[in-house]
Amino acid sequence: MRHRLRDPVTGLLFVLPVLVLFLIFRIFPSLGAAGMSLTNWNIGGEWDIIGVDNYARLLDDVNFWLSLRVTLVYSVVYVPLTMLVALGTALLLNQVVFMRGLFRGMLFLPYVTSFVLAGIVWRWIYEYNGLINGLLAKVDLGPVAFLEESGVVLPALAVVSVWKGFGYSMLILLAGLKAIPSSYLEAATVDGANAWQRFRRITLPLLKPTIFFVLVIETISAFQTFDTVYVMTGGGPARATYTLIYGIYDHGFRSFDFGYAATWGMVLFAVVLVVSLIQRRFLDRGNT
């Protein structure tokens, strides 16, 4: 019995530090938020248990449904765009032989920069006298109020987030491409398959597990977007960028209604969980 327990106990000791941190900073706060959503907790630390009143209030809250719609629209724009940019750059890097590490580092550099710094730089790029409107003026177009018009502000923020975050997905997809045996592609080339046929019939099917993983990660990231909105628009114009996370911040740290903010957080948790489970179902269906 001592011999049989040696390996599990040893493994548990190795993972115990990370497990403790995970419990302290993930599990316990999540349980605390779930309990707080059932109270009217305020900034003074005073609270009373009110049951599901916060959830009933949320169902009648126009701002909540608006923020949910904004978050969904943003996700629909951000996720496919990120997938296309990350996959395209990964395919290009996979073909590069000379100075591959340099190009990989340059493309990954925006991911490790501060979101605040990126937001400030892109605010200048989107201004009336900024870089993009300057280029549009040369072809007699614009100017476009990228951050002041409700119809274009979400795509404008999505572009910033894609530029900032595609490097992580690019590296994961590049690792997936490296795992594909080169003999498959060489055999297809010998059989007369062109580049598109090799990508469609060999590369894409073998890359599906990695693509699904990146899809899940980027979808969760889209639902949790906050930094770009906070720095560049503050939820405006006319709440056109009022996302779920920004709504949690607004109720929690502006109105100090922590119980209601926790309710928003629990609903966001449920939405992300459902979306992740749906994507995981597809991922399992593909034996990935």
Q: Is 145 part of any domain? A: yes
C-beta contacts of 148-155 below 8 A and 24+ residues apart: 148/237, 149/237, 150/237, 150/238, 150/240, 153/233, 153/237, 153/240, 153/241, 154/70, 154/73, 154/74, 154/77, 154/240, 154/241, 155/77
Across the chain, mean pLDDT equals: 88
pLDDT of 287 > 60? The answer is: no
Query: Tell me: the pLDDT tens digits for 43-81?
Result: 777 788 898 999 999 999 999 999 999 999 999 999 999
Using an 8 Å Cβ cutoff, are 81 and 158 in contact? Answer: yes
- Whether the per-residue pLDDT at 29 is higher than 70: the answer is yes
Q: Give the pLDDT score at 143.
A: 84
Residue 268 belongs to a domain = yes
pLDDT in the model for residue 21: 93
Confidence of residue 284 (pLDDT cuts 50, 70, 90): low
Q: Are 79 and 166 in contact (CB under 8 A)?
A: no
User: Would residue 27 count as lying in a domain?
Assistant: no
Residue 183 inside a domain? The answer is yes
pLDDT in tens, 202-252: 999 899 889 988 998 999 999 999 988 999 999 988 899 999 999 999 999
Is pLDDT at 279 greater than 70 in this prediction? yes
Taking only the tens place, the pLDDT of each residue in 251-261 is 999 889 999 99
Residue 245 and residue 268 in contact, taking contact as beta carbons nearer than 8 Å: yes
Q: Tell me the residue type at 5.
A: L
Q: Which long-range contacts (CB under 8 A, 24 or more apart) does 224-228 make?
A: 224/268, 224/272, 225/71, 225/74, 225/78, 225/157, 225/161, 227/115, 227/116, 227/119, 228/115, 228/118, 228/119, 228/157, 228/160, 228/161, 228/164
Q: Which residue has the higher pLDDT, 61 or 100?
A: 61
% of the chain at pLDDT higher than 70: 96
Within-domain flag for 23: no
Asked if the structure places residue 184 within a domain, the reply is yes
Residue 146 lies in a domain: yes
Categorize the per-residue pLDDT at 5 as very low, low, confident or very high, splitting at 50, 70 and 90.
Answer: low
So what's the pLDDT on residue 281?
78
Number of domains comprising the chain: 1
pLDDT of residue 288: 45
Q: Is the pLDDT of residue 1 over 90?
A: no
pLDDT at residue 115 tops 90: no
CATH number at residue 276: 1.10.3720.10
- Give the model's pLDDT for residue 259: 92
35: in domain: no
Q: Output the pTM of the full model.
A: 0.87
Range of the domain at 158: 50-285
What does the pLDDT read at residue 223?
Answer: 93
Stretch 177-190: mean pLDDT, rounded?
89
3-state secondary structure of 73: helix
Q: What is the pLDDT of residue 102?
A: 87
